[in-house]
C-alpha cells in the first residue's frame, strides 16, 4: 500500500465479513436452540424406560385375554353433552365389570393426556363425563379392566365414534 492510497474502512472489506458472520451465526443459532430446549416440554422421553420395557410381556398377556374373551368396543364422543359412551361386546360367559378405565393419549403432546372412569349404566352402556372437548389432533385410546385391554385411535376433529379392539384383532 502506498502512503497516497485512500484508507478503506474495515467494514467495507469483504474478507472481514467472511470472518465475522459464521461465528456470529453459530452463536445466534446456539442461543435459539437452547431457548427452544428450555421452553418446550416435548414429554416424549420417559425416565423409567427400562421398567416399561420389562412390562411388555404383561401388556401382551392383557391383549391375549381380551382376544380370548372376544372383546370389542365402540366409544362415541358427544361434544355437546360432554359425555363419552361406550358399548362393549364379548363372547357368551363373559361377565362385564362395573367400571372401566379409558385412557386418552394425544399422539404428540403428553400434557393433554386424560384418564376417564367409565361406569356401567342400567342399559349396559358405559358412560363418563368429558369435562372439556378434546383438542385437535390424533388420539390413541386404551380401554382396560384388571386383566385385559382394548385399543383404538381417532382423529379430532373428525370421527365421533371409534372402534376398540385387542391388538392383532381387527
pLDDT tens for each residue of 87-111? 888 888 888 888 888 888 888 887 8
Domain locations in the chain as residue ranges: 49-165
pTM (two decimals): 0.61
Closest to 151 measured CA to CA, from 73, 78, 85, 83:
73
DSSP state, residue 46:
-
Residue matched to cell numbers 399422539: 107
Contact 107, 137 (CB under 8 A): yes
pLDDT at 22: 96
- Give the C-alpha separation, 46 to 39, whole Å: 18
* Bridge partners for 55 per DSSP: none
CA dihedral 36, 37, 40, 45 (to 10 degrees): 150
pLDDT, one tens digit per residue, over 114-168 is 888 888 888 888 888 877 777 788 888 888 888 888 888 887 776 678 888 887 5
Q: Write out the three cell numbers for 105.
A: 393419549
Contact call for residues 92 and 70 (beta carbons, < 8 A): no
CATH 3.90.1720 describes domain 49-165: no
Amino acid at each position: 500500500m502506498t502512503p497516497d492510497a485512500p484508507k478503506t474502512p474495515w467494514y467495507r472489506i469483504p474478507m472481514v465479513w467472511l470472518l465475522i458472520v459464521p461465528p456470529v451465526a453459530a452463536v445466534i443459532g446456539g442461543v435459539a436452540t437452547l431457548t427452544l430446549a428450555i421452553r418446550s416440554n416435548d414429554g416424549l422421553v420417559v425416565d423409567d424406560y427400562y421398567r416399561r420395557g420389562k412390562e411388555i410381556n404383561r401388556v401382551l398377556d392383557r391383549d391375549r385375554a381380551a382376544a380370548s374373551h372376544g372383546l370389542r368396543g365402540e366409544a362415541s364422543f358427544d361434544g355437546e353433552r360432554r359425555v363419552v359412551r361406550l358399548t362393549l361386546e364379548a363372547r357368551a360367559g363373559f361377565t362385564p365389570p362395573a367400571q372401566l378405565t379409558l385412557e386418552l393419549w394425544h399422539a404428540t403432546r403428553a400434557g393433554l393426556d386424560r384418564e376417564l372412569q367409565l361406569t356401567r349404566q342400567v342399559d349396559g352402556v358405559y358412560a363418563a363425563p368429558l369435562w372439556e372437548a378434546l383438542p385437535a389432533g390424533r388420539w390413541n385410546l386404551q380401554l382396560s379392566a384388571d386383566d385385559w385391554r382394548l385399543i383404538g385411535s381417532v382423529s379430532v376433529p373428525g370421527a365421533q365414534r371409534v372402534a376398540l379392539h385387542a391388538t392383532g384383532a381387527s
